[in-house]
Amino acid sequence: MSEGENRQIARDSLFLMADLRVDGLDGECRIKVRNLSAGGMMGEGAVRVVRGSAVKVNIRNIGWVPGAIAWVQDNRFGVAFGTEIDPKLARVTVGAAEDATPRFVRTHEALYSPDTAAMRKI
């Protein structure tokens, strides 16, 4: 696939935090994910990476994804994933059911359904 063909892959612009492990370096670095697609991402952070370095990225709701640094420019860099992911999973709120209504939208009856048998008679 040429560079021009890569640019046609749909990318989702977003802002979320992720952890990055670079082969040969100890520990993890906290980075910002600026855009995400099934085949890669653009990250930003105070980590020194070189093109071709093997990395792993821990993306919310997806987990650790192996990849390699595709390009570097200042404090931004591109990661080409070794396996495709579903980028929509990163946008799902952690621990929320897809069909759950947010608490601030629900009526008081839905939040507090009184058990009339347990109510005290006055």
* 34: containing domain: 3-97
Q: For the whole prediction, is pTM greater than 0.75?
A: no
20-25, Cβ contacts within 8 angstroms, sequence gap of 24 or more = 20/45, 20/47, 20/55, 20/56, 20/57, 20/58, 21/55, 21/56, 21/57, 21/58, 21/64, 22/47, 22/49, 22/53, 22/54, 22/55, 23/53, 23/54, 23/55, 24/53
pLDDT given for residue 106 in this prediction: 60
Tally the domains of the chain.
1
In this prediction, residue 35 carries a pLDDT of 93
Average pLDDT, the chain: 81
Question: What confidence tens digit (pLDDT) does each residue in 74-120 have?
Answer: 999 999 999 999 999 988 875 554 455 665 666 655 555 566 666 66
CATH number at residue 57: 2.40.10.220
